């Protein structure tokens, strides 16, 4: 949400709802003070279970189960929790009213319509694709560069080592 709000694309896409287990005041605080993105330059407040960001109202919900969420009039769910990672959980979003689901992480199993890495294969997307994975952060960081090198010089063999902070689901 921060990246979109601070980008040139904010007129093309609007965040209308966020489902987050944390309470509204915590969401507000984390929007203002992000350890990665720093302090938010805009205005952020909470009113009636809504996050108000630069005069835009974003409805908040705190559902642990997708079946409890009502995605009315939602074109795209950005599934960034990491808790839902397969086609069945994506279809639950569709059953609740979303038109499309984009996973911010690799999907489990084979059931995605596509796995897309921008700069590599985004041209493969078609309007009928409804459940898409954006691959992993390592993939998004390395594959566009590897594609450029391979297209220009060719690659016979490659190895990548990733140092990554601990994730929420890793003991």
Residues identified as active-site = 137
Instruction: State the burial class of residue 81 (Cβ atoms within 10 Å of its Cβ: 0-12, 13-18, 19+).
Output: middle
Q: Could you tell me which of 140, 122, 132 has the C-alpha nearest to residue 100?
A: 132
What is the Cα–Cα distance from 45 to 112, expressed in whole angstroms? 36
Q: Could you tell me which of 33, 15, 17, 36 has the C-alpha nearest to residue 25?
A: 33
């Amino acid at each position: 949400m921060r990246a979109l709000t601070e980008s040139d694309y904010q007129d093309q896409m609007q965040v209308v709802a966020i489902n987050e287990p944390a309470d509204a005041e915590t969401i507000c605080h984390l929007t203002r003070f992000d350890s990665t993105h720093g302090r938010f330059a805009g205005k952020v407040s909470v009113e009636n279970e809504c996050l108000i960001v630069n005069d835009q109202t974003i409805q908040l919900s705190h559902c642990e189960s997708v079946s409890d969420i009502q995605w009315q009039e939602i074109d795209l769910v950005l599934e960034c929790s990491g808790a839902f990672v397969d086609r069945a959980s994506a279809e639950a979003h569709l059953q609740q009213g979303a038109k499309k689901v984009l996973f911010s992480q690799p999907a489990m199993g084979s059931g995605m319509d596509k796995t897309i890495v921008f700069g590599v294969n985004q041209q493969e997307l078609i309007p009928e694709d409804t459940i898409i994975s954006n691959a992993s952060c390592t993939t998004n960081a390395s594959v566009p560069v590897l594609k450029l090198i391979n297209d220009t010089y060719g690659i016979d063999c490659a190895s990548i080592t990733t140092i990554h902070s601990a994730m929420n689901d890793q003991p």
